[in-house]
Structures are given as C-alpha cells and as structure tokens.
Structure 1
Amino acid sequence: MKISNETKIGALTAIAITVLILGYNFLRGNDIFSREQLFYAIYSHVDGLNVSKPVLVNGFQIGRISNMRLQHSGKTVVEFKISKDYPIPENSVAKLISTDLLGNKAVEFELGNSAVFAENKDTLRSNVERSLAESVQPVQKKVETIIAKMDSLLTSVNTILNPGFANNFDRSFKSIANTLATLESTSKRVDGLVGTEGGKVGKILSNFESISTNLRNNNDRIARIVSNFDKLSDQAAKVNIQETLTNANKAVSDLQVAINKINNGKGSLGLLLNDDKMYNNLNNAAESLDKLIVDVKENPKRYISVDFSLIQIGGKGKKK
C-alpha cells in the first residue's frame, strides 16, 4: 500500500508539534510522562530564581521549579515538582540558595527528621540563604578599608622620599647630633665642677645633716612650742569672741529698753508716737506759722516800721 505524500507531511507535522509541546513542557519543568508530586513554598523575594531551576537535596537534583505566582501581598508562591521516589518529611525547609556569584538561585530542601511525610500540594516552610555577594560584603568593606590605609601609607612613603623632606630630615638629624654633643660637653663640665668643688658640697651636706639632727633632737621642744602657740591663739580667739558677744547682748538689751519706753509713751519720741495731742499741737502750730508767713508776704507794712533820724551836720538838735 502506497502512502501519499500529503499523509506523510501531516504525520510529520503532528509528530513535530507533539515533540515541540513535550520539549516546551520539559523545559518548564513539566514532565507529562512521569508521575510527580507538587509542593509549594512562599518567599518574600525571589531575585535570580526562574522556572525550571533545579530542586536539590545535598546537591542532588530531585525535581524542578514548575511555576511561580506573585500574590497581592508582594510575596511569591513557588511550585515544585518532586519525583515520588523521594519522600519529603513534613518539617522540611525549602531554602533559596545562591549557585554562583552572578546571582543565580536554586532551591535546596533541608530534609527534616519527622516520621510523617508531606503530602501532595502541601506548603513547606521556606528560608532564604544570604547570597554570596552579601556574604562577601563585610570582607569587601574590610578590603576597602585596608586599601585606603595602604594608600595613606604609600602617600606617607612618597612624602618621605621627597628630596625636600629628605633634606629637612638630614638637617633634623644634624640638629639632634649637635644637641647631644652639647649635652655631653655640659655633662663633662658638671663632672669637673663636682670634682673640684667636692669639698664644698660635702661641707654643705654635712651642715644640712647637722641641722636635720638638731631638728630631730629638739622635736619634742618644737612640738611643745607649737602647742603653746596654739593654746594662746585659742584663748585669744575665745576672749575676743566672748567680749564681742557680751557687747552685742548689752546693745540688744539697751535697744529693747529704749523700744519699751517708746511703746509705753515715755520720752519725747514716745509721746510723739503715742500721744495724739502732741501731734495735733505740732500740726496746729505748723499751720499757724504757715498762715503768719503768708500774711507777712501779703501785708509787710503791718509788721515793719522804719524810723529815720535826720542829723543836722553841725547842729545840736535832732529831728524825727
């Protein structure tokens, strides 16, 4: 039986479409010829993770990522297809790990120790491992700090190697050498002076020793003298303080007597403060005196009379 070309082309086209569909699903992690179980995990961020990335257990691949869905909360639900040949304990953790320095990610199952296994379409606990870049970041900061210090050190070395600095450095060493030579000469002179004047220095030290011996021998006498001076000063202070307190008490007593007299109406000040008649009389007198002064200013002729005496020059009589 001869098969027509159209039949051959149709069969090849169907086979090609089937292979294309199967290959696409395989690349997405969907193997339609195998029986697999589904698991889910929820992550806050999945940068570097894609569909068809492997699912590992201690580096051995047991499945693939088949789907990823973003939720309204911003978290991502990741679907795993795991072969039924590998039972997963229910307390296992789906850990998001880094596979290289470029940021590519994969999922590794940390198998738990539970005797109960997770069932199909269960949601496993999730965890995100620090990426290699994040792990290297503290080391990077330390390296940057070391590089900055090395740069500062090299700058200092360049400054030291500068000809001007070298000349100044040489001059500083010469100055230090001159200073040391001067100190050496001075020490020699001091040694010579001590050698020549050693007898005088010994006499001075002997005199100081004699004075200290006398002070030590008369220590009790000096202590008694100081004690006597202390007693005299205390007695003088006590006498002065007692006399001052006596005078103050007397002054207070006299002031109290005077205040009592004033309050009892004795004396001019007491009468002035306590007797209303005296105050009224003084007030009336002041008022009368004020009226008299006003009247004198208004009618001066009333109080002033002037006598004129005319004396005739050479005469014996007087006319008024």
Structure 2
Amino acid sequence: MTTSKRTSDFIVGLTVLVVTVLIVAAVLWVKQADLGGRQQQVVVRTREVGGVALGNPVVIRGVRSGRVESIALGAPGWVTITLGLDRGVQLPPDPVVLLAAASLFGEWQATITTAAGVPPDRDLRAAIAEARTESDTLAGAVMPDIAQLTTVAGRLAGDVAKVADRVQVAFDDAAAKELRESIRNFAHLSTVLAKTIDVQSKNLDQISGDVHTGVTRISAAADRLNTFSTRMDSATSRGELQQIVSSSQQAARELLTATTNLRDMTTKLDRTEARLSTVIARADSVFMKANGTTGTLGLMMNDPALYQQSDSLVRELRALVADVKKNPRRYLNLRVF
C-alpha cells in the first residue's frame, strides 16, 4: 500500500513537472525568447508605427529574420522600435525600415531594405530622410496600408464620378449636334484639303519643270561664262586686256580732270550766284526806295500832286510855245544896225 502510494505520488509529481516544463517551453516558443543570446538588436526611429505590434515579423529580402521586441515613445514626436534579429543576419547597405501591412487581414511587418529600394513616393522618401540620425539608429517610415489606399481610391472614384457628371451635363444634345457638325466640317475640310493638295501637286510639277528649265539655262550661262573666261585668257595672252586696262586708266584720269574742272566751275558758279544775290538785293532796295514816298524818285513816281503840277507845267509850256509862235515879236526883239 505504501509502495503503490509512493509510486502514484512519483507519477503525479513527474507529470506535473513535465507539464510545467512543456508550458514554460511553449510560452518561450510563443514569445520567441532569446535564452542563449542568439539575437542582435536594432533600434528604429520613426514618426509613427501604423499597425505594428509586438511580435510582428522582421523581413529582409523576403525572408523572416527576426521580430519586433519593443515599441516605446522617444523624443517628442518620435517613436522608438527595437527589432530582434537572428544571429548571423547581415543588414543591407544603407539600411532603412519600412513598416507596412503584410496581408489584407491586418497583419503588419517591418521590412529592412536599402535606401535605394524605397518606393518612389515623395512623402515616404521625405519621412525616411527626416528620420535619419548620425548614430546607429535606423530611419523608419510607415507605408500606406490597404485601408488608406482604399480611402484614396474611394476619394478618386468620387472625383471621377463628379467629373463624369459634369461631362454628362456639358455633353448634352446641343453638344452632340455641334460635335456632329464639327465632324461634317472636318470631313468637308478634308475634301477641300485633298483638292488643294491635288492642285498644288500639279503646280509643283509645273514648278519642277520651271526649275529644270532654269537649271538648263544656268548650265548654258555657265558654258557661256566658261567661253568668256577662255576668251579673257586668250585676250590676256595677246595683251588686249592690258590695253583695255590702260585705256580704262586713261579714261579714269580724264574723268578725274573733268570732275576737278566741274568742281572749279561749281565754285565759280557759287561765287557768281552770291554776287547776283547781292545785285538783286541792291536792286530790290532801289526798287523799294523808288516805290516809297521818302526819296525824290519815290515822290516823283508816287506823289500825284507832282504829276498834276508837271502836267500843268507841260500845258503852260505848250501855251507859251504856241504864243511864241503866234506873237514872236513879243518875245524876240531883233534890231539890225
């Protein structure tokens, strides 16, 4: 009885011990406790964590390489996340941490990648650049999750619907008629353009013919020029060109002499013109004085009293002459001794 009781107590104690060991092992396995110091820790600095929680996986190049060990508030406006990485895991060059949803069911993960591998999103890259420090702390940022993308997509869908409504309002029956009229006008314009191209093609053919004729004439002129050059060479060899040049020089000298004479003549004419101007001015002065009433000649020409007196004198002289002719003895007394 005593032996069986002891055996039962031993079995119960052993069972309790095994169960306790199993429970502790299960808890340690669930929490992924690092009993042997097989993990290395990495600190991440970010503005927010999104949906990241303790125990979420850490992924490097698609391979699970650790888990999130702690999340705590850091400096004002910042959050510090501690990542536990497996021993032997090497970080990529210039590493950064992207916090993003791993599935549609709300599971999140921390992905360690290179700065060059960050998606070309302006806000995301700005957040990474802002979170960088000079210490070993990695820069982190939260990528938009499915909910945010869905919200943005819903907003875009609403905007598209508004645009579609506006287009439907703008594109009414009148707009449709105007569009059909524009299409007909475009068809008419195409026809006119085709006719114009046909006519212009004929004109281009004519222009091509004219150009060909012009080229032929230019070729003939070139032949004539070549002939002229040959004649010039021949004339040069016979001395005719030298004679022509000498004659041209003689003509140039004579023309220069004639030009000099003409210049002298022009100078003399200028002097004569000046003298003539002086004579005309003086004559004009005389005429002005004669036409005036201040001088003797002016009084004689312009004073009516002088004219009347002169006319009276002439009449008296005529009467005197007539009286002398009639009665000469009255005026002439001739005595002969």
Shorter chain as denominator, the TM-score bin is 0.3 to 0.5
Given the two structures, how large is their TM-score scaled by the length of structure 1? 0.39
The answer to which structure has the higher helix fraction is: 2
